Structure 1
Amino acid sequence: MPTIFSPATVPTVKWSARRKSAFAHHTPSGKPAIFVYARYMKTRSIEVDDDTAAALTQPAVERGVSIPELVAELMTLDAAPVVADAAELAELDSRWKSFEAQQTVADSEEVVRWLQSWGTPAFRSWRAR
């Protein structure tokens, strides 16, 4: 049976007075929020399964926000463009070139056997296997 979130049934943990308008709300990174949930907004009910409801409830409680506020924040993070500086891009390019230059490739079975040896006396570093 899916859990139905509606304005009347959403477990609200606390309302922050500073979140009254879209201009006052910022994401944890300090960027202005694009999506903001406020009590005066028109709302819709959304059905989700119990596992999804639990997955949304736990971080909302930990952050001290309602589930609609959490979803609005997640949408803000998802909608915000990702910005990387030149140094980060150069590092990623360097790592990719290093990866492409590798001569050997391990098959999945070899990697699984190596991972299963972790924490056992048979464990060896990847290069010493």
Structure 2
Amino acid sequence: MLETLAQAVINGLLIGGIYALVSIGVTLIFGVVKIVNFAQGEFVMIGMYISFYLATQFGIDPIASLVVSMPVLFIVGVLIQHFLIRRVLGPNDMPQIFLTFALSLLLLNLALMLFTANYRTVHTSYSDEAFHLA
């Protein structure tokens, strides 16, 4: 009973940490660029698909694949900023909001067409490891 409670608390803290990271990302983007980026989650999804395919096709560890996926997404972000977002910057925030929302829908549906809605997992040597407290 106590073990189940401890596991539930740890799972809740981990999920809360993920929510905190996402909210920090949104806050950072809004604070620096002054744009609410609705496509932020889709960029994370693209990074996850890059890591997935590097792991399944080339056997690269998912954590080590950050060395590839982060620069790729940085370049994608710079290109989107230069060619799309810069064109709608102005005193009115609505074009920025519509653009990032449309970009979110575009990336989401493009990923759905390319990768389908099936779950994908990567099995590593440490994915089945358990962490025991006390």
Q: Give the TM bin, normalised by the shorter chain.
A: under 0.3
Bigger helix share: 2
Structure with larger Rg: 1
Q: TM-score, normalised by structure 1?
A: 0.25
TM-score, structure 2 as length reference: 0.25
